[in-house]
Structure 1
Amino acid sequence: MESLEETLKGLSIARRSHPEEPTYLLHVALQPSGLLAVSCSNLTIHLHNEESLNLVGEYRGHKGPLCGLTFAHNSSDLLYSGSADGTVQAWDVRCPGTDAVQMFKSDPSHCYCSFDLNCSDMLLCAGTEQVNDEDSFLVFWDSRKPGSRLLGVYSESHSDDITQVCFHPRDKDRLASGSTDGLVNVFDLSRGAEEEALLVTCNSDSSAGSVRWSGAGYTQLLCLSHDEGLHLWDVGQLDTEEPLTIFSTSDVRSLTPLPDGVGVDYLVGGQWLEEAQKLLVVGGKNSGDLHMMECDSKGLHLLRSLEGGHTSTVRCFLWSAAGEALVTGGEDAQLLLWKPGGKQLATGKRESMKSESTVKLKSRPHKKHGFKKEKKST
């Protein structure tokens, strides 16, 4: 089997897809059996075939900007989506175009800006925007009981928008959360009450945007901030005297991992590659070029640059180890599949596509979206 570096060297565009309606592509999730789910800024969710990128279905059910997608781990025909409309909804991907089969809500004042499902598929958690200029909440449901009351709420650990909730890939009770208050918290939910469950708080000294579990055994946390900071912590060191910080920079743009001593303009995200035992961080240039980098205790190291694909900011990516493929989506409304030796079917770049619905969004996917609920008439 080729090394990751050798695989990445051979990547080129194999497929290129774009929706008929101009829209930003915000999040992407992969079903093990070969479906790609993509959330769009026009509030729709698209289903694509992983190999051909052909559109095979669409869902329209949310009334506010989407904040994420995830497939269930054990019942992967269920796709979950969260939204600022105050709902987390589940869709049966065997029946494209149908209504959601499950819906989860909390207080009517709650707008969600993050959510996740734990590895046992039993527990859902959503993070809210700040409410009443002082409170933000982590809300929990039993995913097996749609429409049931909340299992519980954590309200003391964050003071601003909770931009990320991320369950541990193997420990059903371990949860990380990040917020625009700069704090990244790790909880052990088996301990019950919030004060007892909070294990550690890490400070990003900025507005935390993306939080991901990484490292061997998933004992590390990667945090990417809204102003392009990067922090890698080892939360497996909590019971030792060793420092938690593995690597930290307040602005990745000041680093020069690229040829000719230049850096990236922004960070797309990070993903721990279990098979390769490497932390992949993807950054981009405003021109649309992408740069795949490894992150470790010494910083960022360029693995491969990808040029000639996107024409503007890339919003999402995922690496499929099984398919040895990279999927990327962005503000140019393009969904690209990169594979070793790939030969794209449609040639030529597409122009960046803007629409009335997309220009209202922030230029970054994880910033406040300002969605307001409609007041119910009495």
Structure 2
Amino acid sequence: MEMVEEKLSALSIARRSCPEEPSYMLDLSMQPSRSGSAQGHLLAVSCSDFSIHLHDKDTLKLLGDYKGHSGALCGVTFAHTYPDLLYSASADGTVRTWDVRRPDTEAVQVFKSDPSHHYCSFDLNCSDLVLCAGTEQVSDEDSFLVFWDSRVSGKMGASGGSSDGTLLGVYSESHSDDITQVHFHPRDKDRLASGSTDGLVNVFDLSLGGEDEALLATCNSGSSVSSVCWSGKDYTQLLCLSHDEGLQLWDLSQLDTDEPLTIYSTVDARSLRLFSGSEESVDYLVGGQWMEEAQRLVVVAGTNSGDLHLLDCDGRGLRLLRSLRGGHTTTVRCFLWDTSSAGEDNLVTGGEDGQLLLWKPGGEELMPGKTESMKCDSVLKVKSRLHKKHDYHRDKKTT
């Protein structure tokens, strides 16, 4: 714990990037290093104007962008073993692959499924072989997990057309509303977690066969799921955040025991007193990340004025590690930790003010002074649905 607090206590703004045409920054992905070569130097940012920006991760300089999606983006991720490939998915019903050696070019691969499918989550497994996307609710009771072989797909032609690629299969019975989260296990290529506005978080082992056989557990978050994160030693724990700022931490190593899965739970993190001697609180939860070296789960929370709070999370609850002020001017949408920089833990954040910030230990901003808020309600309409209660039950272990 002391090591984490010491590292975080030195964080300050080192770089700031503000685009000429502001848009919400929705998701971030860091280029991994190549085997036997220098670390990756690129940072990909998905934006609310349907574009993907490519930045230098150390200077935040804009290197280029990709435009091809015609609907809201639901994520962006670099391939793990082929770091020149970048994947993105969109509500336009496509998952696209981009070659980051050629900024400002068309997608080199396009994956599709049924024309009625609009994706609101996706991920690539750790072996880079399987893509999965979660759809919005298609009809009154249907939403789908769609799987492709990432090695085979349609390619964009001069006319913009493409084939559907190679579909591996579709899961259709595990969720009944928008599938807002799809996350593969960081080390197990067959382990997948999915979350939905139906309140359920499902864990699958894709090696076991069909959908019924693959479903290992169904955890009920009690509310619409906004984020899931693998954590804990050997990544046997699962963090779930909800759209109404609830938090659940489950221990999946207890699946085959009679012990409860829930390690910690709060229905509303905004009601917790995290600041000793102060009335200050958090307004929202951004997400969580497992700090491998320190073996700690850090949850990032924020205020509507742009302040950030870094929280330690375990079975004892949430505890404040560090507050970061003077950076953003409004809601922060995304963050990631860069642990590859000479032993330093750098933090990158992006938000609705159109700013991309790099926080470094002992950082000194070269261009000081934050910009005025560029938030615009018309930039992005955020869809939210009331949590729906379901009366069906599963045979698998649930919380």
Q: Which residue of 1 aligns with 2:87?
A: 80
Amino acid at match of 2:27: H
Give the count of matched residue pairs: 363
Q: Distance in 1 between matches of 2:130 and 2:337?
A: 25
The question of 1:284 aligning with 2:291 is answered no
Tell me by how many angstroms 1:105 deviates: 0.3
Amino acid at match of 1:93: V
Tell me by how many angstroms 1:258 deviates: 2.2
Q: Distance in 2 between matches of 1:293 and 1:346?
A: 28
Among candidates 269, 277, 286, match of residue 268 of structure 1 = 286
The question of 1:241 aligning with 2:248 is answered no
Q: Which residue of 2 aligns with 1:192?
A: 209
Q: Which residue of 2 aligns with 1:375?
A: none
TM-score, normalisation: structure 1: 0.94
Is contact 2:330-2:375 (8 Å) kept? no
Q: Deviations over 1:167-202 (max 9, x none)?
A: 000000000000000000000100111001000000
The question of 1:209 aligning with 2:226 is answered yes
Tell me by how many angstroms 1:132 deviates: 1.6
Tell me by how many angstroms 1:211 deviates: 0.8
Tell me by how many angstroms 1:134 deviates: 1.7
Q: Which residue of 1 aligns with 2:170?
A: 153
Q: Distance in 2 between matches of 1:64 and 1:285?
A: 28
Q: Which residue of 2 aligns with 1:90?
A: 97
Among candidates 107, 132, 139, match of residue 132 of structure 1 = 139
Q: Distance in 1 between matches of 2:300 and 2:210?
A: 37
Q: Distance in 1 between matches of 2:257 and 2:60?
A: 47
Q: Which residue of 1 aligns with 2:29?
A: 29
Among candidates 347, 351, 355, match of residue 372 of structure 2 = 351
Q: Distance in 1 between matches of 2:209 and 2:175?
A: 17
Q: Which residue of 1 aligns with 2:240?
A: 223
The question of 1:48 aligning with 2:68 is answered no
Is contact 1:255-1:262 (8 Å) kept? no
Q: Deviations over 1:208-240 (max 9, x none)?
A: 110111100000000000000000000111111
Q: Distance in 2 between matches of 1:352 and 1:61?
A: 28
SS of 2:270's equivalent in the other structure is: helix
SS of 2:312's equivalent in the other structure is: strand
Q: Deviations over 1:13-65 (max 9, x none)?
A: 00000111011111011012121100111111001111100001110010000
Structure-to-structure mapping, 1:5-20, within 5 angstroms? 5-20=5-20
Q: Which residue of 1 aligns with 2:394?
A: none
SS of 2:5's equivalent in the other structure is: helix
Q: Can you give the 5+ residue segments of structure 1 that lack an aligned partner in the other structure?
A: 369-378
Is contact 2:79-2:86 (8 Å) kept? yes
Is contact 1:41-1:357 (8 Å) kept? no
TM-score, normalisation: structure 2: 0.89
Q: Distance in 2 between matches of 1:286 and 1:10?
A: 24
Among candidates 327, 337, 355, match of residue 309 of structure 1 = 327
Is contact 2:300-2:308 (8 Å) kept? yes
Tell me by how many angstroms 1:356 deviates: 7.2
Amino acid at match of 2:353: D
SS of 1:322's equivalent in the other structure is: strand
Is contact 1:25-1:41 (8 Å) kept? yes
Q: Distance in 1 between matches of 2:257 and 2:279?
A: 38
Tell me by how many angstroms 1:337 deviates: 0.3
Q: Can you give the 5+ residue segments of structure 2 that lack an aligned partner in the other structure?
A: 33-39, 155-164, 386-399
The question of 1:339 aligning with 2:356 is answered no
Question: Following superposition, which runs of at least 4 residues in structure 1 exceed 3 angstroms of deviation?
Answer: 354-357
Q: Deviations over 1:51-81 (max 9, x none)?
A: 1000011100100000001110000110100
Tell me by how many angstroms 1:355 deviates: 4.8
SS of 1:7's equivalent in the other structure is: helix
Q: Distance in 2 between matches of 1:35 and 1:334?
A: 17
Amino acid at match of 2:116: S
Is contact 1:209-1:367 (8 Å) kept? no
Q: Distance in 2 between matches of 1:229 and 1:125?
A: 26
Amino acid at match of 2:193: A
Select between 77-86 and 344-353 the one with higher mean Cα deviation: 344-353
Q: Which residue of 1 aligns with 2:130?
A: 123
Structure-to-structure mapping, 1:92-111, within 5 angstroms? 92-111=99-118
SS of 1:70's equivalent in the other structure is: strand
Amino acid at match of 1:176: A
Q: Which residue of 2 aligns with 1:3?
A: 3
Tell me by how many angstroms 1:97 deviates: 0.5
Q: Distance in 1 between matches of 2:56 and 2:43?
A: 6
